[in-house]
Structure 1
Amino acid sequence: MDIASILGIILGIFLFVFGVINGGGNLTRDFWDVPSVIITIGGSLAGTLASHKLSDFINGLKSITLTFKDTKADVSEVIKNIIDLSNIARKEGLLALEEAANGIEDEFLKKGVMLVVDGTDPELVRGIMEADLLSVEERHNVNIGFWKAWEGLGPAWGMIGTLIGLINMLAKLDDPSTVGPSMSVALVTTLYGSLIANWLCNPTAAKLKVNNDEEIRIKEITVEGLLSIQAGENPRVIEEKLKSFLSPKMREGMTDQGGGEE
């Protein structure tokens, strides 16, 4: 489980409740209105549905579960695996990688290894792997786009609900006692829209993008590593090349991967 996402959501709820109670408000009396919930959440979801295909809409909703999963993507472990493969290829030849590929769990890496073993032209290997990488990123961007779309529509439908409330309030101006309660209900929809955007949608889209960037970086490292192995480069050189994808702090934190002999 990704503890950061869970803590963020819980902390957001706590701070909202604290603000309401500290200001003397009542959660159920002052901040809960069923019609406002229906207008804001229902309307914004309807708009999001209208801007997506049904399958993309459903997958977008489901993608929130990905923010709670720990991807366990270890860049240093990926580099180590590639260095191990480069040592095998240097000592026993590229064909020896076929047997080593049987123990690889990463399907992307395994696919690349088999392309190398089959003697595929390096440029074709790069083209195939990058096409796969692009396809993954496009699927991720559809989910990210879903949450960005909902993020924009939440406050918009909150404002629509507020306008509806104001119109109803003005229609009953002959009764001054209804102005306060009507104004309160009207503003609640704007609050709901802001909560949808800033407590739910924006953090979800941001976390999905973080996960996407991390996965894409690992796949880019994999592609460069495989092409370097195919080119017959020294494992030590390959290791240093792959470390260039990392931040200085991550490079310092990496232990020696056991590069090959000169």
Structure 2
Amino acid sequence: MAINSSRPTILVTNDDGIEAHGLHALATAMLELGDVVVVAPREGHSGMSQALTVRVPVRYREEKGDTPYRQYSVSGTPTDCVKLALHTIVPCRPALVVAGINHGSNASINVLYSGTMGATLEGCVAGLPSIGFSLVNREPGADLTPYLPYCVDIARAVLERGLPDGVALNVNLPRRAVQGVKICRQAPARWHSEYDARQDPWGGDYYWLTGIFESLDGEAEDTDDWALRHSYISIVPTRVDMTDYPMMKAMEDWKWRKH
């Protein structure tokens, strides 16, 4: 695949699958900034976090279509897509990895479960500036047009300024008209009543993932949850390194028995 070396190469992926509206809207928008290569799961893989395929072979194929960029589907997870793209599919090192636009929020605690952010963090692990974009609207056909200029501006800023090693951006877009952009911390939160007990037509019990989101710091104006509820785009710098360094220090005087 030929790449115009005068423009940066941008790898675009997602967790909603190769046919997702948000994927192609983001890929088309990124053409303003560079040469785009799309590598995305063949099917939806929401909630995969940074999962890898380890029990079956991973395969990819080029998808034909009337797009101004080449696109490849992968039989595995979003993280598989990034790994395979960097190892095999993309002939040069990308300047940027972007994932999304995901249909559904990946703010707050949701970042831990997100396949979109799993792919984003995999790009970060590979030493590439990486951004995950998500929309607080699960409708597959949601109008993304008002958000795309912001996505381009954020990606342009990262291309120009870079990101520290081990840091990616978790960007979430509000449901209503954008009032501005806020740099935020991740809101502390949890999910309650996560499984709905049901019965199939044969009387067998099964459980369907649902859940009620509870923010634990709901009125703090520096969190992503507050920003989104007030129609701001939230940007959370997110680290791959999950070490709690103050806790390391606090544990220095813990006593351990020899066994």
Q: Same fold (TM over 0.5)?
A: no
Is the radius of gyration larger for structure 1 or structure 2? 1
TM-score (ref. length: structure 1): 0.20
TM-score (ref. length: structure 2): 0.20
Higher relative contact order, structure no. (Cα contacts within 8 Å, ≥ 6 residues apart): 1
Greater share of helix: 1
